[in-house]
A and B are shown apart, each in its own frame.
Chain A
Amino acid sequence: MRGSRSASGRSATGPTASRDGRASDGSSGAADSRPEGRLIDTPPPGSEAPGASPRRLPEYVLREPRGTYHALNPTTKLVIAFAEAAIAFGVRGWTGPISVLVVLAITAFAAGVARRMVPFALATIPLVISILLVNTLLYPGAHDVIVRLGPLAPTWSGLTAALQATLRVVAFALSAAILGLTTPTDDLLSDLERRGLGRRGTFVIGSAIRMVPRMGERASEITDSQRARGMDTQGGVLRRVRGVIPLAGPMIFGALTEVEEQTMALEARAFSAPARRTVIRVLPDSGTQRVVRWVLFVGAIAAVAAEVSGRLRLP
């Protein structure tokens, strides 16, 4: 039990609360002598307890990040990821994706998240395989056949294009992975909010991200329910198409009712109050980082623009 618990501030718009008589260590002085008051009782002037320490955020809310890369401002890390993705995709040939991959590898080791990036790299395998197959075998207008295997005719230009596309996809996935692994979503959102992203924007992005696991849970409950009623989830195309409605119906209905409930619950928590929302975690930023962000942002766009206009001639 903390020490003094006397009433303190009052809100700008609503009733003010006093909470007294809870202190058991005698440090709250005058406040102790008053009976338990009603919630909306206004505290008498000067009831502020002597020696009350300024109230601070607990450690687990402050969550000081550890490590240099982790401690970068979330928006800086967002801009880095953006620049990496832009260059990987925007700068054609080998230079774009390979240089980004080199940077990514260095950052991953420096930030100590290299090992945790492996699953993300593995997750791109299905896409990588399909890109390789489709491009190598079906590259339009290519005639430099590597080897003829019956009806199949893989080409060198197809293979080159496929490898480059693959590297781009992997680079993109890994740049997003580094951002995700070093930056809690909530930090990124609260930083963006501080920079002026509105509370609704912040909420929509934040709840969408957090909804994913809940959607998965709901989907598996629905599948269980329908399978328990004998629905066969395997079988031919027609069967599967018909199986979509029993799965999608409850998904949509559930989402709609939950949105309604959640909207009311948000209103009940003053979500539409006109005041500017308090930012409780101010994440460190610096002049250097601001410069780096602008340089990266402008640089990436300039590189892509130069590439698109054909002025950049890189391998």
Chain B
Amino acid sequence: MSIEAARRGIALALESVVFVYPDGTRALDGVDLRIAAGERVAIVGQNGSGKSTLVRQLNGLLRPTEGRVLVDGQDVARMHVAQLAARVGLAFQNPDRQIFAGRVRAEVAFGPRNLGHAGADVERAVDEALEAVGLAGTAEANPYDLGYSRRKLLAIASILAMRTPVVILDEPTTGQDARGATRVRAIIERLSDEGRTVITISHDMRFVAETSRRVVVMRAGRIALDGTPAEVFAEPNWPALASTYLEPTLPARVGARLGLAGTATERALVEAIAAARASDPARRRV
């Protein structure tokens, strides 16, 4: 498989997946989830709800205790982690659990090389990934000289360089300032525009509402809610969100006060208010 050929998304599916850790913790308790090729999904829920366990099923780091996991229609039970790594890229939360190389460039090249690529192919993938995260200027630097937020972007670049059809980002905005968060949004937009399947795990509901087309809420190893941001953050779901300590976004809360539905993001709220006023010049409602 050429490294250039991976520019398309693939579908993922979990079928009645149960996962029990060796200590008996039932981290996934019957999860059914289908993600179509090219979808942009956010997985949310409090720590321990099973988010990270779920995404580890998708690249074979964990194998389901019961049920099946399908990547591009194939059962992962018959695939090696190395094979899966070429299809599903997973950028972990803590960059310091992966960075080992003495130079930024070498760190980013690690993944593509492991996938069997070499030469100019790798160089191009590395340059492009560093460009995407804004670290092109520090390609020759020592990763340990970068601050935490830039190490985090480096870890994301090292996954981007593998050009996998599926990219999973675990808490990509933790420790990022406004610029870093903007950078991460741009990366997600771009991956999605290229047709790849993008999954983000995040605690930041505003980020989730603005960057995803679908939100999956996990609670105690099960899927509690699943829908578009507008659906998930709609008023009837607030008790369910609160039960897992999540708050709807501010635009959703303001929208509910104004009697407007589907206002999970600022843009959606502004548009809904403008539309309401246009159809109701007397401004009886808003």
A residues near B (Cβ < 8 Å) are 218, 221-222, 224-232, 245-250, 253-254, 257
Contact = CB atoms under 8 A, between A and B. Distances in A.
Which residue, B59, B98, B159, has most C-beta atoms of chain A within 10 A? B98
A248 B92 CA distance: 18
A254 to B, nearest CB: 5
Given A224-B61, A229-B111, 11 more contacts: A221-B92, A221-B97, A227-B81, A227-B85, A229-B158, A230-B86, A230-B115, A230-B162, A246-B98, A247-B100, A250-B98
Given A230-B114, A231-B114, A246-B110, A225 B97 contact: yes
Contact of A232 (B94, B114, B159): B114
B35 interface: no
B82 A249 contact: no
A229 B96 contact: no
8 contacts: A221-B92, A226-B110, A228-B159, A229-B98, A231-B114, A249-B99, A254-B96, A254-B97
Contact of A253 (B56, B99, B162): B99
A218 B111 CA distance: 20
Interface string B48-86: 000000001001010000000000000000000110011
Contacts of A226: 98, 110
Nearest to A247: B100
A254 B151 CA distance: 13
Interface string B107-134: 0001100110000000000000000000
A218 B92 CA distance: 13
Contacts of B115: 230
B86 A225 contact: no
A217 to B, nearest CB: 10
A120 to B, nearest CB: 19
Contacts of A222: 97-98
Contacts of A254: 96-97
B97 A250 contact: yes
For the complex of A and B, the 3 pairs showing the least CB-CB separation, nearest first, are A249-B100, A230-B114, A225-B98
Given A228-B90, A229-B85, A253 B61 contact: no
Given A221-B94, A246-B110, A253-B144, A228 B99 contact: no
A229 B114 CA distance: 7
Given A246-B110, A253-B144, A228 B89 contact: yes
Contacts of A253: 96, 99-100, 144
Classify the secondary structure of A's interface with B: helix
Interface in B178-207: none
Contacts of B94: 221
Contacts of B111: 229-230
Interface of B: 56, 59, 61, 81-82, 85-86, 89-90, 92, 94, 96-101, 110-111, 114-115, 144, 158-159, 162
Contacts of B59: 228
A248 to B, nearest CB: 8
Contacts of A218: 97
A229 B97 contact: no
Contacts of B61: 224, 227-228
A38 B78 CA distance: 65
A250 to B, nearest CB: 5
Interface centre among A224, A231, A246, A247 (most CB of B within 10 A): A224
Given A230-B111, A230-B114, A232-B114, A250 B96 contact: yes
Nearest to A226: B98
A255 B111 CA distance: 24
A229 B162 contact: yes
- Best-buried of B56, B59, B97, B144 by chain A (most CB within 10 Å): B97
Contact of A225 (B92, B101, B114): B92
Contacts of A229: 85, 98, 110-111, 114, 158-159, 162
A228 B159 CA distance: 9
A253 B107 CA distance: 15
A242 B257 CA distance: 60
Nearest to A249: B100
Nearest to B90: A228
A224 B56 contact: yes
B206 to A, nearest CB: 28
A257 B114 CA distance: 28
Contacts of A225: 92, 97-98
B258 to A, nearest CB: 40
Contacts of B101: 249
Contacts of B86: 230
